[in-house]
Structure 1
Amino acid sequence: MSDYTGGLPLHKLREAIAYINDYLDQDLMLAEIAATVQMSPHYFASLFKQSTGFAPHQYVTKCRIEKAKLLLARQELTIAEILQQVGFKSQSHFTRVFRQYTTTTPKAYRDAL
């Protein structure tokens, strides 16, 4: 087994991040992300955190919120459509998480643009 002090090798990190971005609209399981880079979930999670400063689930949530902000700015989708595109199951959960990351609601964020 290789010892990756300092986190994931860059190519594995890029592969994992690409996978996360490709499947943001779906339930992303740690085991699936780890499998894309041929690592155990636990080992992957610790190296991913070393590399990015975020646990995998925190990183996924951050990506979902960033994508939601971009989609909110474009105006052509409803908030309900956006929350589905970024992998949330309910509007209340989406609003709660969005507010944690941005201190505002999705509607208020859109209205302020």
Structure 2
Amino acid sequence: MTGYDMPRGTMLLTNMWAMHRDPMLWKEPERFKPERFEEQGEDTALAQRFVCFALGSMIQCFEWRRVDGKCVDMAEGKGASMPKATPLRAMCKARPIVGKVM
């Protein structure tokens, strides 16, 4: 989408339920068909979009702080998903706007 101006401080919420059931995007949107995501093409990016949505929501809705004040250790651990060698410890505090929306 283009052409929308969002005022500073606006919290943007996306209706993922409606997007997942849009008959313009999915054949038989009300049926559970996980195989639809195995196809190559634009539709396979759904998981990537959801991860971006979840991460964006966490950044927008919370203030984040390091627990010990040290720099984040970016060393990689062992594993296929490239886990961190040292787990990240952080504290979060809900931003004031969350109370107005939720």
Settle same-fold status: TM greater than 0.5.
no
* Larger fraction in helix: 1
Instruction: Provide the TM-score with structure 1 as the length reference.
Output: 0.29
Larger Rg: 2
